């Protein structure tokens, strides 16, 4: 297709940088592959994405239609002339994609939802026996034959009959056949979603290619829909918005369960009970004689998901109303009394634009269950600076000591009661789960610690008190559970419904024995904690089926300092997202990573596509819409007393450094109007600085000019603090009639890099006239997960028994800061670069909070001598080279003394005050 420089759908006269961004995006889509596009916050990025990407989609479809028409015409002419000069693959290239029969399309869709998450290693893998001799489980010497077991009918008089697991036989137990009575609920509700058959009966031809737009939160997706409505494409493309069950559900009985886990489980249980009822009806009728069996009006299932006619009305209403966000779709579902979750899913196949959260697109199992095909389509991922973290976190799993204790207690109680009523397979599988929970508990209780394997143990076998990590195989071997076939065990847990049977019985026992005086609300909380504990166990077991080198098991035996803190835990940490992300890259025509601040791009590239040659990654960064005089970024290497600022890990806590920073801030409040934000590297360091300032009287000096606010640790309190901070500034700027004499010159906010304030908060205008970055906020070297990722990126060999180097590397790190620093010093290039890139990525996110629109202005102070550089000799690896282009181009490399800094700030704010007075 031809290049484009005009985008008529843009509802306003675009700025030049917006036109550049749209052109770059259009070219990237033409080219295909991976592109990273950066447009600073406040430059109309979302609207630019919409107008460029959808224009490309319209042009592409028109181009394909023209090619198809031309091919058809050429084919007819050749048939008439008998010519056969063009190869078949050339003539059929476009046609084949569009002439696929509807029957095959429908069949393909149904097959997509059938994959199970725990089968991700493939069915070709030869699995071992479920458990071999010496597996750490007591052999059951009193197992009856299945035929001699009491049936459920025979124990009907028991109060607990409903909790008895149905007879289960695995493939190996029954000569290659699988036999199971009764249905189960999926153990992974987020990924094992059932296909909505109601929406497939009158399926229209699928729209291709598509654009998939995803972002982190539902609110960001709603904002995207609002921007889309401003353009002509609102009437020209088919749009559908997807979301979670918790956001879509309108069944009050299900919704009142509260947690996402319970809502998902209950929804799937209702769908399966509906299918089970339909199956029973089918068996009682002669299908050959009667034809198709109709659905019973009294069939079980969700009341909001029974009526096919209402489902069709939902799709019709949504199609007629144009782009709708989740709230709109939920309202239509309420009005029609039909499920908006399944209703929206049924419209994916005909949509041109699918708007959805990260999780639904990045998870393979979620894509398959939703029927999302990325072939020949475009994936646009907004807010992509956190993409790598979001991707790997989906595959992380964690179970706490308290959860393990609860699960093991429930299993023991259940097995003791039903042992003699269970079939051999059920009995064996339940015992294996108990073996695993017991082994995990021993790990966290430090029982039978094996110093040869456990890096947290010293030569005497005692714990050092720090966290430790192990590879998957190392973990399995060291705790004697390597001979358990986890694939078959997970399949059993899914199909047997054992989780709900055990949780239900455990809850009944707790009530009948009055173990705790629980009220109704507390009872549901008890059920939820048990269910979430079992789900956490399943997720850990699932993680242990991953490839050995893809992740690490974190073992934390740290004792809680107070009742509010959690105790020990096991956690699986995925180290790399490149294999997961490659599935998306291999299928899609183009993948666009967009964001306000993507620098340094090396961090994202290293974690998601390190194998990609530099010439195949298209990066575009547009400038800011603000004029150059609206921003004043300055490196501040020393304070008013001429002491150099060095906030590195070893020197930042010195009294000299903290007091010099206090002197700087108490001087800055005299020259900076309205709001001022100081970013610290951590809550602990901010607390240390604040306490020292308070003791020395610096807090009192600052308070004479500006009221001080501190970012709270609890995220629920952030909004309250920001509201008071804004009100204080509004009072000074004259937008409020209330004036506070204490805050006559504004306010100052002490914030944390990586906290709630540093991402997504709007510090426009007076809320952020000056952003102060204290030091270079390198991540803590005591972060065990980070250190494991750095070791992986650097290429350190951490497999068992390689050589003495492995033992030396193991001794580097046991969860403490010094061990982490040892690892960093041993890194040659990639690991160290990754660590530095993480730091500058955090800096960019924080300082990007200030400028939000074309008339905004602010000063940015980088307080640390390590930011200093010689403009003529600055190397490409210098930290300031990783700043956004629009900041880097205007950066003042350093000031000679505080007097020069004060003069620059005074002139800057005086100039803008004069502009405001003249307007």
For every residue of 464-483, DSSP letters joined together read -SS-EEE-HHHHHHHTT-TT
Burial state string for 382-416 with b = 16 or more CB within 10 A and e = fewer than 16: bbbbbbbebbbebbebbbbbebbbbbbebbeebbe
Q: How confident is the model at residue 106 (pLDDT cuts 50, 70, 90)?
A: very low
- Containing 36, the helix (H) or strand (E) segment is strand 33-38
Find, among 561, 548, 282, 567, the residue nearest to 398 by Cα: 567
pLDDT above 90 (res 655): yes
Which of the given ranges, 49-63, 286-300, 862-876, has the highest pLDDT on average? 49-63
Arithmetic mean of pLDDT over the chain: 78
pLDDT above 90 (res 149): no
Name the least confident of 417-421, 441-445, 515-519, 725-729: 515-519
pLDDT at 22: 95
Find, among 595, 740, 499, the residue nearest to 215 by Cα: 595
**Average pLDDT of the residues in 792-817:** 55
**Average pLDDT of the residues in 692-702:** 95
Cβ partners under 8 Å of residue 562, min gap 6: none
pLDDT above 80 (res 246): yes
Q: In whole angstroms, how far apart are CA 603 and each of 194, 607, 840, 885?
A: 37, 6, 10, 17
Q: How confident is the model at residue 734 (pLDDT cuts 50, 70, 90)?
A: low
Give me the percent of the chain exceeding a pLDDT of 70.
74
**Unique residue bearing structure tokens 């629920």:** 716
Strand pairing class (569-574; 468-470): unpaired
Question: Would you say 227 and 44 are in contact if contact means Cβ atoms under 8 Å apart?
Answer: no
SS3 string of 630-655? HEEEEEECECCCCCECCCCCCCCCCH
pLDDT at 68: 75
Cβ partners under 8 Å of residue 894, min gap 6: 635, 636, 637, 867, 868, 869
pLDDT above 50 (res 527): yes
Find, among 345, 368, 355, 335, the residue nearest to 197 by Cα: 345
Find, among 26, 99, 51, 378, the residue nearest to 214 by Cα: 378
Q: How confident is the model at residue 874 (pLDDT cuts 50, 70, 90)?
A: low
pLDDT at 204: 60
**Average pLDDT of the residues in 184-197:** 42
Name the least confident of 261-265, 333-337, 452-456, 867-871: 452-456
pLDDT at 627: 87
pLDDT at 160: 66
DSSP per residue, 343-391: HHHTTGGG-SEEEEEHHHHH-HHHHHHHT---TT-EEEESSGGGHHHHH
Joined tokens for residue 385: 């600076």
User: In which order are the strands placed within the sheet that holds 378-381?
Assistant: 239-241, 353-357, 211-215, 378-381, 590-595, 33-38, 617-621
pLDDT at 452: 40
pLDDT at 205: 67
Name the least confident of 18-32, 629-643, 839-853: 839-853
pLDDT at 112: 41
**Average pLDDT of the residues in 584-588:** 92
Greater pLDDT, 152 or 360? 360
Q: What is the pLDDT of residues 345-404, one digit of tens each?
A: 999 999 999 999 988 999 888 888 888 999 989 999 998 888 888 888 888 999 999 999
What residue ranges in 406-557 does DSSP mark as E strands? 468-470, 551-556
Q: How confident is the model at residue 410 (pLDDT cuts 50, 70, 90)?
A: very high
pLDDT above 50 (res 862): yes
Q: What are phi and psi of 784, to 5 degrees?
A: -65, -35
Question: Would you say 192 and 365 are in contact if contact means Cβ atoms under 8 Å apart?
Answer: yes
Cβ partners under 8 Å of residue 373, min gap 6: 112, 206, 587
- What sign does the dihedral 795-800-806-812 (CA atoms) show? positive
Cβ partners under 8 Å of residue 843, min gap 6: 753, 773, 776, 777, 862, 879, 883
pLDDT at 390: 86
Cβ partners under 8 Å of residue 606, min gap 6: 793, 830, 833, 834, 837
Greater pLDDT, 167 or 495? 495
Joined tokens for residue 493: 């847990």
Name the least confident of 263-277, 387-401, 479-493, 744-758: 263-277
Cis-peptide, bond into residue 462, ω within 30° of zero: no
Question: Would you say 32 and 590 are in contact if contact means Cβ atoms under 8 Å apart?
Answer: yes
pLDDT above 60 (res 572): yes
Q: How confident is the model at residue 279 (pLDDT cuts 50, 70, 90)?
A: low
Q: How confident is the model at residue 456 (pLDDT cuts 50, 70, 90)?
A: very low
Q: What is the pLDDT of residues 428-443, one digit of tens each?
A: 999 999 999 999 999 9
Find, among 60, 328, 346, the residue nearest to 200 by Cα: 346
Task: Please name every residue paired with 214 in a beta bridge, in sequence order, or none if there are none.
Answer: 356, 381
pLDDT at 677: 95
Q: Kindly state the DSSP code that residue 160 receives in the 8-state scheme.
A: T
pLDDT at 75: 64
Distance CA 320, CA 317 (A): 5
Provide, for the chain, the percentages of residues in helix, strand and coil under a 3-state DSSP scheme, each rounded to the nearest 5. Answer: 50, 10, 40
Distance CA 904, CA 910 (A): 10
Name the least confident of 60-64, 239-243, 682-686: 60-64
Helices and strands: H and E segment counts in the chain: 34, 19
pLDDT at 466: 58
Distance CA 45, CA 853 (A): 12
**Average pLDDT of the residues in 290-303:** 48
pLDDT at 515: 45
pLDDT at 896: 86
Name the least confident of 115-119, 669-673, 894-898: 115-119
Burial state string for 88-125 with b = 16 or more CB within 10 A and e = fewer than 16: eeebeebeeeeeeeeeeeeeebeebbeebbbeeeeeee
pLDDT above 80 (res 255): yes
pLDDT at 7: 92
Find, among 876, 867, 871, the residue nearest to 634 by Cα: 867
Question: Would you say 667 and 705 are in contact if contact means Cβ atoms under 8 Å apart?
Answer: no
Which of the given ranges, 201-210, 233-242, 734-743, has the highest pLDDT on average? 233-242
pLDDT above 70 (res 115): no
Q: How confident is the model at residue 170 (pLDDT cuts 50, 70, 90)?
A: low
Q: How confident is the model at residue 813 (pLDDT cuts 50, 70, 90)?
A: low
């Amino acid at each position: 297709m031809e290049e484009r420089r005009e985008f008529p759908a843009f509802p306003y006269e675009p700025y030049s940088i917006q036109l550049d961004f749209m052109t770059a995006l259009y070219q990237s889509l033409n080219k295909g592959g991976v592109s990273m596009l950066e447009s600073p916050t406040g430059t109309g990025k979302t609207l630019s994405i919409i107008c460029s990407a959808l224009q490309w989609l319209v042009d592409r479809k028109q181009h394909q239609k023209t090619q198809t028409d031309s091919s058809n015409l050429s084919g007819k002419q050749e048939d008439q002339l008998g010519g056969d000069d063009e190869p078949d693959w050339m003539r059929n290239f476009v046609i084949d994609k569009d002439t696929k029969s509807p029957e095959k399309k429908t069949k393909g869709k149904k097959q997509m939802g059938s994959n199970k998450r725990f089968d991700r290693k493939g069915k070709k893998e030869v699995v071992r026996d479920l458990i071999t001799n010496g597996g750490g489980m007591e052999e059951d010497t009193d197992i009856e034959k299945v035929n001699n077991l009491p049936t459920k009918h025979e124990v009907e008089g028991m109060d607990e009959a409903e909790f008895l697991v149905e007879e289960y036989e695995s493939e190996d137990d029954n000569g290659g056949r699988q036999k199971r009575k009764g249905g189960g609920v999926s153990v992974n509700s987020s990924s094992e979603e059932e296909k909505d058959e109601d929406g497939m009966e009158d399926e229209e031809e699928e729209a291709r290619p598509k654009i998939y737009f995803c972002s982190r939160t539902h609110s960001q997706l709603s904002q995207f829909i609002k921007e889309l409505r401003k353009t002509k494409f609102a009437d020209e493309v088919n749009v559908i918005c997807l979301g979670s069950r918790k956001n879509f559900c309108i069944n009050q009985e299900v919704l009142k369960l509260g947690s996402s886990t319970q809502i998902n489980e209950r929804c799937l249980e209702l769908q399966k009970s509906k299918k089970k009822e339909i199956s029973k009806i089918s068996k009682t009728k002669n299908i050959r004689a009667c034809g198709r069996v109709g659905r019973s009006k009294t069939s079980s299932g969700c009341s909001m998901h029974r009526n096919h006619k209402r489902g069709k009305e939902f799709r019709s209403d949504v199609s007629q109303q144009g782009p709708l966000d989740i709230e709109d779709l939920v309202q239509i579902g309420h009005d029609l009394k039909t499920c908006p979750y399944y209703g929206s899913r049924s419209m994916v196949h005909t949509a041109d634009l699918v708007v959805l959260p990260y999780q639904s697109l990045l998870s393979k199992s979620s894509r398959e269950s939703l029927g999302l095909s990325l072939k020949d389509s475009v994936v646009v991922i907004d807010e992509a600076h956190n993409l790598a973290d979001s991707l790997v976190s989906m595959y992380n799993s964690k179970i706490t000591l308290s959860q393990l204790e609860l699960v093991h207690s429930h299993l023991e109680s259940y097995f003791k009661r039903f042992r003699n009523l269970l079939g051999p397979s059920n009995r064996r599988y339940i015992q294996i789960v108990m073996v695993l929970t017991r082994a995990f508990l021993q790990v966290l209780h430090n029982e039978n610690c094996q110093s040869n394997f456990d890096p947290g143990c010293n030569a005497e076998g005692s714990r050092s008190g720090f966290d430790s990590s192990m590879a998957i195989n190392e973990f399995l071997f060291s705790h004697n559970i390597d001979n358990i076939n986890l694939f078959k065990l997970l399949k059993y847990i899914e199909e047997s419904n054992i989780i709900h049977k055990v949780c239900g019985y455990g809850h009944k026992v707790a009530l009948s024995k009055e173990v705790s005086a629980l009220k109704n609300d507390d009872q549901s909380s008890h059920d939820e904690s048990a269910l979430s504990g079992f789900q956490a166990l399943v997720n850990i077991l699932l993680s242990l089926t991953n490839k050995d080198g893809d992740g690490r098991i974190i073992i934390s035996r740290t004792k809680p300092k107070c009742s509010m803190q959690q105790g020990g835990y096991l956690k699986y940490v995925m180290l790399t997202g490149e294999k997961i992300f490659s599935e998306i890259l291999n299928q899609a025509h183009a993948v666009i990573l967009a964001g306000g601040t993507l620098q340094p791009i090396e961090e994202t590239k290293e974690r998601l596509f390190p194998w990609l040659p530099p010439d195949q990654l298209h990066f575009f960064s547009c400038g800011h819409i603000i004029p150059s005089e609206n921003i004043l970024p300055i490196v501040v290497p020393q304070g008013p007393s001429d002491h150099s600022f060095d906030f590195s890990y070893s020197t930042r806590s010195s009294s000299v450094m903290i007091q010099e920073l206090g002197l700087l801030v108490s001087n800055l409040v005299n020259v900076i109007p309205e709001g001022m934000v100081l970013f610290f590297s951590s809550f602990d360091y901010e607390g240390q600085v604040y306490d020292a300032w308070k003791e020395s009287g610096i807090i009192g000096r600052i308070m004479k000019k500006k009221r001080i606010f501190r970012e709270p640790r609890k995220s629920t309190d952030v909004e309250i603090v920001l509201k008071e901070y804004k009100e204080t500034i509004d009072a000074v700027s004259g937008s409020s009639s209330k004036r506070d004499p204490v805050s006559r010159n504004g306010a100052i906010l002490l914030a944390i890099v990586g906290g709630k304030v540093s991402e997504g908060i709007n510090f426009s205008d007076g809320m952020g006239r000056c952003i102060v970055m204290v030091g270079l906020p390198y991540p803590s070297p005591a972060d065990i997960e980070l250190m494991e990722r750095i070791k992986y990126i650097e290429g350190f060999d951490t497999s068992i028994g390689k050589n003495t180097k492995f033992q030396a590397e193991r001794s580097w790190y046991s969860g403490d800061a010094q061990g982490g620093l040892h690892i960093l010093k041993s890194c040659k290039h990639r690991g160290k670069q990754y660590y530095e890139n993480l730091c500058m990525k955090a800096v960019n996110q924080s300082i990007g909070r200030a400028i939000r629109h074309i008339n905004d202005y602010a000063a940015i102070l980088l307080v640390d001598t390590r930011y200093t550089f010689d403009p003529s000799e600055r190397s490409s690896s210098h930290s300031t080279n990783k700043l956004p282009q629009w900041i880097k181009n205007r950066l003042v490399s350093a000031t000679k003394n505080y007097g020069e800094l004060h003069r620059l700030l005074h002139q800057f704010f005086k100039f803008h005050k004069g502009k405001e007075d003249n307007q």
